[in-house]
Structure 1
Amino acid sequence: MDATHDDRSQRHRIGVLFGDGIGPEIVPAAVEIADRAAALEHTGFDWVEAPLGHAAIERYGSPVPDETLCVLDELDVWIMGPHDSASYPPDVGGGHTPGAIVRTRYDLYANLRPCRAIPGVRATAPDIDVLIVRENSEGLYADRNMALGSGEFMPTPDVALSVGVITRAATTRIAREAFRAASRRRRAVTIVHKANVLRMTTGLFRDVCREVAEDYPEVTVTEQHIDAMAAHLVRRPADFDVLVTENLFGDILSDLAAELAGSLGIAGSVNASATTAMAQAAHGAAPDIAGLGVADPIAVIASTAMVLRWWAEHDDRRSALEAVADRIDAAIAATAAAGVVTADLGGDATTRQFTDHVLSELGR
Structure 2
Amino acid sequence: MPKIVTLPGDGIGPEVTAAAVQVLREVAPDLQFEEHAIGGGAYEAHGDPFPQRTRDALADADAVLLGTVGGAQNSPWNSLPRPLRPESGLLALRKALGCYANLRPVRVQPGLEHLSPLKPELARGVDILIVRELLGGVYFDGDRKLDGDTAYNTMRYTTPEVERVAKMAFWAAEQRKGRVTSVDKANVLEVSELWRRDVQALRDREYRSIHLNHEYVDSVAMLIVSDPSRYDVIVTENLFGDILSDLAAVIPGSLGLMPSASLGDGAGLFEPIHGSAPDIAGKGVANPAAAIMSAAMLLRHGLKRSDAANSIERAVALALREEPTRDLGGKADTKTFTNAVLEAMGTPVG
Q: CA deviation at 1:55?
A: 3.9
Q: Secondary structure at the match of 1:160?
A: strand
Amino acid at match of 1:195: A
- Tell me the CA shift for residue 82 of structure 1: 0.4
Structure 2 matches for 1:73-152, cutoff 5 A? Answer: 73-84=59-70, 87-88=76-77, 90=80, 93-95=83-85, 97-118=88-109, 119-120=111-112, 122-123=115-116, 124=118, 125-141=123-139, 144-146=140-142, 151-152=143-144
Q: Does structure 1 conserve the Cα–Cα contact (< 8 Å) formed by 2:48 and 2:84?
A: no
Matched, 1:341 2:324: yes
Q: Normalized against structure 2, the TM-score is what?
A: 0.91
Query: How much has 1:262 moved relative to structure 2?
Result: 1.1
Partner of 1:4: none
Is 1:352 paired with 2:335?
A: yes
Judging changes above 3 Å, is the alpha-carbon distance between structure 1 residues 295 and 325 closer, same or farther for their aligned structure 2 residues?
same
CA contact (8 A) 2:101 2:134 kept: yes
2:308 corresponds to which letter in structure 1? V
Aligned to 2:5: 15
Tell me, yes or no, if structure 1 residue 284 matches structure 2 residue 279. Answer: no
State the number of aligned residues.
334
Q: Deviation per CA, 1:107-154, whole angstroms, max 9, x where unpaired?
A: 21111111111333511223321000001111122xx112xxxx4324
SS in 2 for 1:195: coil
1:28 is matched with: 18
**1:57 is aligned to 2:43:** yes
RMSD across aligned positions (CA): 1.7
Unpaired runs of 5+ residues, structure 2, are: none
Tell me how far 1:94 sits from its aligned partner: 3.5
Aligned mate of 2:28, from 34, 38, 47: 38
Is the contact made by 1:34 and 1:324 (CA closer than 8 Å) also made in structure 2? no
Using the TM superposition, give the Cα deviation of residue 167 of structure 1 relative to its aligned residue in structure 2, in angstroms.
1.1
SS of structure 2 residue aligned to 1:233: helix
Aligned letter for 2:16?
A: I
Q: CA deviation at 1:60?
A: 2.2
Partner of 1:363: 346
Of the candidates 302, 307, 326, which is equivalent to residue 311 of structure 1? Answer: 302
Deviation at 1:56, TM superposition (A): 2.7
- Once the two structures are superposed, residues 82-114 of structure 1 have per-residue CA deviations (whole angstroms, 9 ceiling, x without a partner) of 011654372695456221111112221111111
Instruction: Measure the CA separation in 1 of the matches of 2:149 and 2:141.
Output: 23
User: Identity percentage over the alignment?
Assistant: 37
- Contact 2:259–2:294 (CA<8 Å) still a contact in 1? yes
Deviation, 1:54, is 4.2
Amino acid at match of 2:242: D
Q: Is the 8 A contact 1:61 1:92 kept in 2?
A: no
Q: Which residue of 1 aligns with 2:58?
A: 72
TM-score (normalizing by structure 1):
0.87
Q: Classify the secondary structure of the residue corresponding to 2:214.
A: strand
